[in-house]
Amino acid sequence: MKRISAFLLLLILHNLQNNLNAQEEDYIEFNDRKNTVHGVYLGLGFGYGTIDKAETYTSSFKVAYVANQQFEIGLILAGLYSDINRLGLDNNNRDLASVYGGLHIEPILFSKSKINLSFPLLIGGGGVALIDDDVEDPVIDDNDWKHVFVAEPGVNVLYNINRYIQLEAGVKYRLSSRVSLQPEYSLKRINGFSGGFGIKIGVFNMGRNRYKKNIDDE
């Protein structure tokens, strides 16, 4: 009798274990927490625009943190070169150069899509100077640089190639404080529109949800 009871107990336990295993295969494993996806990247950009109708070339380098693929915050360094010698006198062949940088913030819309829309903003400052156009390697004295405050809002379209590479293209408008260049130059600010493109390289999604599991249709 004891042997029969032991056999029945083992049989019941075996069937119970099989039922539990079968139920586990039908479950969806999920995570109900609100995960924040983190990212970091390095970015390089190039642009073309105008300052007081003079051709202007720009470039920028930035490093930024991306929160949940919806908001960027970081630092940016930018430079420009503008052919403004047309504003000078007959004996004056000088162009404009500027280097500035500061805080970079960028809200992002449609972040879960392949193509996003963003609104970058640079807030910072730097220096502006005139350089000789007809000298191959001009040397700019420290006293030639004039301090300038810059705010640069814009609109970008972002294209996500994969988790590591993102392309951007857009337009922006540069607003600056007044600068006092040489008296013969009428230019007082380095305001102007520009359009450009850039590339971001980094990891934009360092927190994938690994808890989700599809049900086997079989």
Torsion of CA 79, 83, 87, 90, to 10 degrees: 130
CA distances from 49 to 28, 119, 192, 195 (A): 54, 18, 7, 6
Band (83; pLDDT cuts 50, 70, 90): confident
Q: What pLDDT, on a 0 to 100 scale, did the predictor assign at position 175?
A: 96
Which residues partner with 198 through β-bridges?
A: 45, 168
Q: What is the DSSP string of the chain?
A: -HHHHHHHHHHHHHHHHHHHHHHHHHPPP---S-PPPEEEEEEEEEEEEEETTEEEEEEEEEEEEEETTTEEEEEEEEEEEE--GGGS-TT--EEEEEEEEEEEEEEEESTTSSEEEE--EEEEEEEEEEEETT-SS----GGG-EEEEEEEEEEEEEEE-SSSEEEEEEEEEEEE------TT-------EEEEEEEEEEEES-S-------PPP--
Q: What pLDDT, on a 0 to 100 scale, did the predictor assign at position 194?
A: 96
pTM (predicted TM-score) = 0.73
Condensed to tens digits (0 to 9), the pLDDT of residues 9-62 reads 555 555 655 554 544 444 444 454 556 688 999 999 999 999 888 899 999 999
| pLDDT for 105 beyond 90 | yes
Candidates 137, 42, 131, 20; CA nearest to 84 is 131
**Domains observed in the chain:** 38-203 (2.40.160.20)
- Mean pLDDT on 122-131: 92
Q: Say if CB 52 and CB 84 are below 8 A apart.
A: yes
Q: What pLDDT, on a 0 to 100 scale, did the predictor assign at position 41?
A: 96
Rounded to an integer, what distance in angstroms lies between the CA atom of residue 117 and that of residue 4?
A: 72
Between 82 and 213, the more confident residue is 82
Identity of the highest mean pLDDT range in 23-37, 41-55, 73-87, 137-151: 41-55
Q: What pLDDT, on a 0 to 100 scale, did the predictor assign at position 104?
A: 97
Candidates 101, 43, 41; CA nearest to 65 is 41
